[in-house]
Chains A and B, each alone.
Chain A
Amino acid sequence: MLEIKDLHASIDGKEILKGINLSVKPGEVHAIMGPNGSGKSTLSKILAGHPSYEVDSGSVSYEVNFKNEDLLELEAHERAQKGIFLAFQYPIELPGVSNFEFLKTSFNEICKSQGVDELDDEAFDKFVREKMKIVEMRDEFLHRPVNQGFSGGEKKRNEILQMAVLNPHLSILDETDSGLDIDALRVISEGVNKLKKSSNAIILITHYQRLLDYIKPDYVHVLSGGQIIRTGDSSLAKELEDKGYDWIVS
């Protein structure tokens, strides 16, 4: 589904990704771990198409509906329309923009791009309330402004709600577990697991092993200094937890 070949990228003239190679197939869960500053967030932003980051060289090809797309040629909203979803590490607050409006517009834009009928308010309301159950989110959050006054855990939960509503092919969860307590972690992980399908794929970016106890990865990659230096299965994550990053980086 996703084929990253020798990707080099920088921000403000500083090179962060120094040749990333990664292959993700439908039904797979990949975990990307690494010390701070290794380029994990950069990778996620580049895949989502954030304009502040520059791709210096390399390619990213994305297969959806049996068609191969050059992901780097697509604009951010086009990538989202084609099923790429990024759950932000620090979700932004949007005062005055209600969660409901935001989700509905987003959902309908994707419908439009796929030639599917859009949903009106009533229909979407029914639809979204069902999805809210997946992340155990209370109804009152639906009409509040996006993320405003939400606790860290509630913001992350809101990201997963969006994931549930938009039904992406490739989800990239950027440090979704950071700042979460045990209960929030459990709810979010359960939500993600419910959304896992054989036709979609998930990239989990995380610093800690803990999340991977809940969401089992098929592959674990260690990112350091802008490159993937080791790939293994879930046991690699356990080794990292025991020995720390220094062990693998040195």
Chain B
Amino acid sequence: MKTEEFLEQIKSYIPADQLGSFLSQSEALPMPNRKLESWKYFPTKFLNFEKQEQSTTLDLAKELNRLKAPGMDVLVTRNGQVQTDLSTDKVKLKELSASDFQLESMETKLDVLSVYSEGQKLELVMQDSKALQIIHFIDSDKSFFNFKLNVDEAVELEIYENFVAVDKVQAHFVSEIELKKEAKLKYYSQSELSSSAQVYTHSSIGLSEAALYKSVVSDTDPGKFRRKTKVNLNGERAHADMKAFYLLNEAAIVNHKIDVNHNVPNATSEQLYKGILDGESKAIFDGMVYVAKQAMGTDSQQLNKSMLFADSAEVITRPQLEIYADDVACAHGATLGGFNRDEVFYFQSRAIPEEVALRMLAVGYAEEIFQEVENKEIHKDFLDQFLDRFSQYKVDIHEL
């Protein structure tokens, strides 16, 4: 969309006292457009800031009941505002302002928008809680939500973030997480988006010495989801382990934009992103691994695997490496292809007919990611949602 249009329309979402700061911060930045490498494939036509009439309203209490994960505190937001009556009070919320956010890697005006908008800006203080489920309900037009989280030295936390969005809504989320020395964060996320909903997340995670960040994300109902993640390995022996799965149908689009920066020696990272696409869906894997000159002893592995179930679906995969240090072990790979004859034959030789074999292989394909979820209930959530959506898909061996 055109810059002038955009600047006019977003005025409805930015408080008057923030408008000036937003304009000055974003002045030099372009609008998302095809010419930018990271926006080359994700359609910008859906980005529109006109006010919309909303038709669907979610029954939060009912949805909460369905989604609540046992043994976790819960924070509920609706359209970018925390619903204190539905959230547990174990997690303290501290009000922040736009300047509290680092806002690294600003590429477009859109990246700057959320923290200056009317959406809440909070710090989650988790002294009394070790496991938090954050559920974002989005049933109105445009919404924005921003949070920061510091995980203290040697603390272990589990966060489960869910996104539920109805028709035609558009939501932006910014999160900045700092892991202090030896901190461990297990992050899980799922989405339930109507096909015309758009969600843009912009997360950055900084790891100090020996910190661990493990994330497992599954989007089996994603609408149009652009997940932008930046991981900065700032301490030796820090480790980032990122796994994701996407199951796309109809006109769903998932764009994983990932930047993993090895800024110091002896940090390690691994990424495994897998997906199945049907209908006219599109998956874009845009993953950069950057190894700085001083980052000797880096070990980084990245793999993206996709399977197409329809010719009208499309996969674009761009694993990228930028390496400036020589004493490193870095590898990446991308594959696309169906199940092969030998795999299916193994099942058949054990009396399992082809259709059943293919189904088991497909579930196994997703389970390779889901089994990384260390929380039994959340693992079951992931598997259940997948099985439910997947029952509509037909599995073939795609051979000629």
Q: Please list the residues of chain A having a beta carbon within 8 angstroms of any beta carbon in chain B.
A: 48-52, 75-77, 79-81, 85-86, 88, 91-92, 94-98, 101-102, 105-106, 109-110, 113, 145, 162, 166
Are the CB atoms of B351 and A92 closer together than 8 Å? Answer: no
Are the CB atoms of A105 and B348 closer together than 8 Å? Answer: no
Q: Which residues of B contact A86 (CB under 8 A)?
A: 349
B49-57, B279-287, B361-369: which lies at the A interface?
A: B361-369
Q: Which residues of A contact B346 (CB under 8 A)?
A: 88, 91-92, 94
Are the CB atoms of A92 and B343 closer together than 8 Å? Answer: yes
B82-90, B155-163, B250-258, B352-360: which lies at the A interface?
A: B352-360
Asked whether any CB of chain A lies closer than 8 Å to the CB of B394, the reply is no
Instruction: Kindly provide the distance from the CB of B270 to the nearest chain A CB, expressed in whole angstroms.
Output: 15
Q: Which 5 A-B pairs have the closest CB atoms?
A: A96-B364, A97-B364, A96-B367, A96-B368, A80-B351
Are the CB atoms of B341 and A52 closer together than 8 Å? Answer: yes
Asked whether any CB of chain A lies closer than 8 Å to the CB of B350, the reply is yes
Asked whether any CB of chain A lies closer than 8 Å to the CB of B26, the reply is no
Instruction: Kindly provide the distance from the CB of A190 to the nearest chain B CB, expressed in whole angstroms.
Output: 23
Q: Which residues of A contact B324 (CB under 8 A)?
A: none
Which A residue sits closest to B367, measured CB to CB? A96
In the assembled complex, the Cα of A77 lies from the Cα of B360 at a distance in Å of 15
In the assembled complex, the Cα of A75 lies from the Cα of B355 at a distance in Å of 13
Q: Which residues of A contact B371 (CB under 8 A)?
A: 96, 145
Q: Please list the residues of chain B having a beta carbon within 8 angstroms of any beta carbon in chain A.
A: 341-343, 345-354, 356, 360-361, 363-371
Are the CB atoms of B343 and A77 closer together than 8 Å? Answer: no
Which A residue sits closest to B365, measured CB to CB? A96
In the assembled complex, the Cα of A113 lies from the Cα of B350 at a distance in Å of 13
Instruction: Kindly provide the distance from the CB of A21 to the nearest chain B CB, expressed in whole angstroms.
Output: 24
Instruction: Kindly provide the distance from the CB of A106 to the nearest chain B CB, expressed in whole angstroms.
Output: 4
In the assembled complex, the Cα of A76 lies from the Cα of B370 at a distance in Å of 31
Q: Which residues of A contact B345 (CB under 8 A)?
A: 48, 50-51, 76
- Which of A85, A88, A95, A96 has the largest number of chain B CB atoms within 10 A? A96
Are the CB atoms of A94 and B348 closer together than 8 Å? Answer: no
Instruction: Kindly provide the distance from the CB of A159 to the nearest chain B CB, expressed in whole angstroms.
Output: 10
Interface SS of chain B? helix
Q: Which residues of A contact B370 (CB under 8 A)?
A: 96
A95-B368 in contact given A76-B348, A77-B351, A110-B351 (Cβ < 8 Å): yes
A-B contact pairs, 22 of them (CB 8 A): A51-B345, A76-B349, A77-B349, A77-B350, A77-B354, A80-B351, A80-B352, A88-B346, A92-B346, A94-B346, A96-B371, A97-B361, A98-B367, A102-B347, A105-B352, A106-B351, A109-B352, A110-B351, A145-B368, A145-B371, A162-B350, A166-B350
Instruction: Kindly provide the distance from the CB of A109 to the nearest chain B CB, expressed in whole angstroms.
Output: 4
Are the CB atoms of A94 and B343 closer together than 8 Å? Answer: yes
Are the CB atoms of A80 and B366 closer together than 8 Å? Answer: no
Contact of A109 among B351, B367, B369 (CB under 8 A): B351
Are the CB atoms of B354 and A105 closer together than 8 Å? Answer: no
Are the CB atoms of B356 and A92 closer together than 8 Å? Answer: no
Are the CB atoms of A49 and B348 closer together than 8 Å? Answer: yes
Instruction: Kindly provide the distance from the CB of A168 to the nearest chain B CB, expressed in whole angstroms.
Output: 10
Are the CB atoms of A113 and B351 closer together than 8 Å? Answer: yes
Instruction: Kindly provide the distance from the CB of A47 to the nearest chain B CB, expressed in whole angstroms.
Output: 10
Are the CB atoms of A97 and B350 closer together than 8 Å? Answer: no
Are the CB atoms of A106 and B367 closer together than 8 Å? Answer: no
Which B residue sits closest to A162, measured CB to CB? B350
Q: Which residues of A contact B351 (CB under 8 A)?
A: 77, 80-81, 106, 109-110, 113, 166
Contact of B349 among A48, A96, A97, A98 (CB under 8 A): A48
Are the CB atoms of A94 and B361 closer together than 8 Å? Answer: yes
In the assembled complex, the Cα of A88 lies from the Cα of B353 at a distance in Å of 18
- Which of B350, B351, B367, B368 has the largest number of chain A CB atoms within 10 A? B351
Q: Which residues of B contact A101 (CB under 8 A)?
A: 360
In the assembled complex, the Cα of A13 lies from the Cα of B346 at a distance in Å of 23
Q: Which residues of A contact B360 (CB under 8 A)?
A: 97, 101-102, 105
In the assembled complex, the Cα of A86 lies from the Cα of B345 at a distance in Å of 11
Instruction: Kindly provide the distance from the CB of B159 to the nearest chain A CB, expressed in whole angstroms.
Output: 24
Are the CB atoms of B364 and A80 closer together than 8 Å? Answer: no
Which B residue sits closest to A103, measured CB to CB? B350
- Which of A79, A95, A97, A105 has the largest number of chain B CB atoms within 10 A? A97
Q: Which residues of A contact B348 (CB under 8 A)?
A: 49, 75-77, 80
In the assembled complex, the Cα of A101 lies from the Cα of B347 at a distance in Å of 12
Which A residue sits closest to B362, measured CB to CB? A96
Are the CB atoms of B364 and A77 closer together than 8 Å? Answer: no
In the assembled complex, the Cα of A166 lies from the Cα of B341 at a distance in Å of 22
A106-B350 in contact given A51-B345, A52-B341, A96-B368 (Cβ < 8 Å): yes
Instruction: Kindly provide the distance from the CB of B352 to the nearest chain A CB, expressed in whole angstroms.
Output: 5
Q: Which residues of A contact B350 (CB under 8 A)?
A: 77, 80, 102, 106, 109, 162, 166
Q: Which residues of B contact A91 (CB under 8 A)?
A: 346
Which A residue sits closest to B353, measured CB to CB? A77
In the assembled complex, the Cα of A85 lies from the Cα of B349 at a distance in Å of 7
Q: Which residues of A contact B347 (CB under 8 A)?
A: 77, 102, 106
Are the CB atoms of A96 and B363 closer together than 8 Å? Answer: yes
14 extra interchain contacts, Cβ-Cβ under 8 A, other than A95-B364, A106-B351, A145-B364?
Answer: A49-B349, A77-B350, A77-B351, A80-B352, A91-B346, A95-B368, A96-B364, A96-B367, A96-B371, A97-B364, A97-B367, A102-B360, A105-B356, A166-B350
